[in-house]
Amino acid sequence: MEDLKPVDPPHPAQDVTEHVGYRLKRAAAALRGAMDRALRAHGLTVPQYACLELLDQRPGLSNAELARGTFVTRQSMNVVLRGLQDEGLISRPATTDHGRALPTHLTAEGRGRLYAARSAVYAIERDMIDAIPQRRLAALLADLDRMAAALGG
């Protein structure tokens, strides 16, 4: 009874846990957990850190742009920005002379918090990279991009 499958799996696999999607989810979950633990010591959540990192390298991004860059909705990013603003880590003008997008910038304190937390996050990335054959890293990054693009990411 169990070997009767209404549809064939995309590639030979007896178990869901063998599927690409499952592996991808497991790796992402492990990364999220590791970052959660590491960032807690710095008083930051993962979305907050992602937001600060993005703002450090692309100052002046708007709420909607940050949301797209961190793969959350505008509404979610809005509450993240409020939290960061309440802590004095970012600054955002109340109005603008052109358009509706409000450019966001890191404060000196925000930059300091980011740099302190960054070393912990980079250590995690180092662990991930060291876990795989170094010659396959470029191909892995390219494949992840291709899969995301194929799914409309």
Binding site for DNA (CB under 7 A): 36, 45-47, 62-65, 72-76, 78-80, 83, 98-102
Nearest approach, Cβ of residue 94 and a second copy (Å): 25
- Residue 45 touches which of a second copy, DNA, none (CB < 5 to 8 A by kind)? DNA
- Residue 20 touches which of DNA, a second copy, none (CB < 5 to 8 A by kind)? a second copy
Size of the site for a second copy (CB under 8 A): 65
Taking CB under 8 A as the criterion, which residues in 72-111 touch a second copy? none
Q: Is there binding between residue 35 and a second copy (CB under 8 A)?
A: yes
Of 24, 41, 79, 101, the one binding a second copy by CB under 8 A: 24
Continuous segment of H or E residues that includes residue 90: strand 90-91
Instruction: Kindly state the DSSP code that residue 144 receives in the 8-state scheme.
Output: H
Q: Is there binding between residue 41 and a second copy (CB under 8 A)?
A: no
Question: How deeply is 117 buried, as exposed, middle or buried, from its count of CB atoms within 10 A (0-12, 13-18, 19+)?
Answer: buried
What is the DSSP track for 36-86? HHHHHTTT--HHHHHHHHHHHHSTT--HHHHHHHHTS-HHHHHHHHHHHHH
- Write down the residue that tokens 């990364």 correspond to: 31
- Rounded to the nearest angstrom, the gap between the alpha carbon of residue 26 and the centroid of all alpha carbons in its chain is 15
- Residue 43 touches which of a second copy, DNA, none (CB < 5 to 8 A by kind)? none
Task: Catalog residues that contact a second copy under the rule CB under 8 A.
Answer: 2, 5-11, 14-21, 23-31, 33-35, 50, 53-54, 57, 69, 71, 115, 118-119, 121-122, 124-133, 136-137, 139-141, 143-153
